[in-house]
């Protein structure tokens, strides 16, 4: 079953703009992760944020986590055409260690 | 360094035929291994996961089975494929829970005709 729901389902921006994607989940988590998938390819791990963390940065990526609202956001700053991909959040849920449950994804299109 | 190999990249199979997809991991020991399926334009559905040889958990009842004959080998099988088995199959591995993310293979696009 799907744990996370990403919002929006699709996002189109121009190069240089920031892109924000949101993820909501339903159960208690150990950590939340974001992945990127280029069309027809495997997923690439971007960043992991633990349940006791509120914000994390990696290069142009900024992830926030609000466990009280069961939500997370991924911000990509100064987007590039190469950032065009689908982005998925995934949760490792408390009590179901070793398994990730993925959301439905946000399709990001960055145009020149 | 660790690598994951998944093959074939694409596969077209007739309904009722058998299936065997293989995934191997190199450069690590005792990984957790996973099979996911992704329907077109959708998220990933966990099919099977394994925390050790011959320790396999099935997440959803279906027409598929999984085996782990060796520590770093994970096989997805079916005796008779259905049209609904079409999709993009992804193998992944991870180590210590909560320490890092999964590493995914490049996927197999299966079309059952």
Neighbouring C-alpha atoms within 13 Å toward the C-beta of A34: 27
Tokens 């690439």 correspond to A44
Q: Does A40 touch chain B (CB under 8 A)?
A: yes
Q: Do A41 and B90 touch (CB under 8 A)?
A: no
> Alpha-carbon distance B36 to B26, whole Å?
19
- The alpha-carbon gap from A12 to the nearest alpha carbon of chain B, in Å, equals 16
Q: Does A104 touch chain B (CB under 8 A)?
A: yes
- The alpha-carbon gap from A3 to the nearest alpha carbon of chain B, in Å, equals 10
Entry field: residues in chain B: 113
Is residue B46 helix, strand or coil?
strand
Q: What share of chain A has pLDDT > 70, as a percent? A: 93
CA-to-CA separations, A12 to A28, A35, A81, B84, in angstroms, rounded: 31, 18, 11, 32
Residue of A nearest to B4 (CA): A42
Question: Which chain A residues contact residue B90 at CB under 8 A?
Answer: 42-43
Is residue B85 helix, strand or coil?
helix
Tokens encoding A87: 């982005």
Residue of A nearest to B58 (CA): A99
Q: Which of A9, A3, A5 is nearest to A106 (CA)?
A: A9
Interface test with A, best of B43, B57, B91 (most A CBs within 10 A): B43
- pLDDT band at B111; cut points 50, 70, 90: very high
pLDDT tens-place string over residues B32-43: 999 999 987 778
Mean pLDDT of B86-94: 94
pLDDT tens-place string over residues B15-74: 999 999 999 999 888 899 999 999 877 789 999 999 888 889 888 877 899 999 999 999
Q: Which of A20, A19, A27, A8 is nearest to A99 (CA)?
A: A27
Q: What share of chain B has pLDDT > 70, as a percent? A: 96
Beta-carbon contacts of residue A53 (< 8 Å; ≥ 6 apart): A65
- Comparing B84 with A97, the larger pLDDT belongs to B84
Tokens encoding A22: 């949101």
Q: Which of A91, A87, A62, A67 is nearest to A77 (CA)?
A: A62
């Amino acid at each position: 079953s799907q744990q996370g729901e990403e919002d929006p389902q699709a996002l189109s921006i121009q190069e240089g703009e920031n892109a924000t994607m949101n993820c909501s989940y339903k159960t208690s988590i150990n950590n939340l992760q974001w992945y990127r998938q280029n069309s027809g390819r495997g997923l690439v791990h971007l960043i992991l944020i633990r349940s006791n963390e509120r914000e994390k940065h990696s290069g142009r990526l900024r992830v926030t986590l609000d466990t009280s609202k069961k939500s997370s956001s991924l911000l990509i700053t100064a987007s590039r055409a190469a950032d065009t991909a689908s982005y998925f959040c995934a949760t490792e849920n408390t009590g179901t260690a070793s398994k990730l449950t993925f959301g439905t994804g946000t399709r990001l299109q960055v145009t020149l | 360094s660790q690598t994951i190999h998944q093959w074939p990249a694409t596969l077209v199979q007739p309904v009722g035929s058998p299936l065997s997809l293989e995934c191997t991991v190199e450069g690590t020991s005792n990984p957790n291994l996973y099979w996911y399926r992704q329907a077109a334009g959708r998220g990933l559905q966990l099919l099977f996961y394994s925390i050790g040889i011959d320790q396999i958990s099935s997440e959803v009842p279906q027409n598929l089975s999984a085996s782990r004959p060796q520590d770093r080998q994970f096989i997805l099988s079916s005796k008779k494929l259905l049209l609904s088995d079409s999709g993009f199959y992804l193998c992944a591995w991870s180590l210590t829970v909560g320490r890092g993310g999964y590493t995914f293979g490049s996927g197999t696009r299966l079309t059952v005709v």
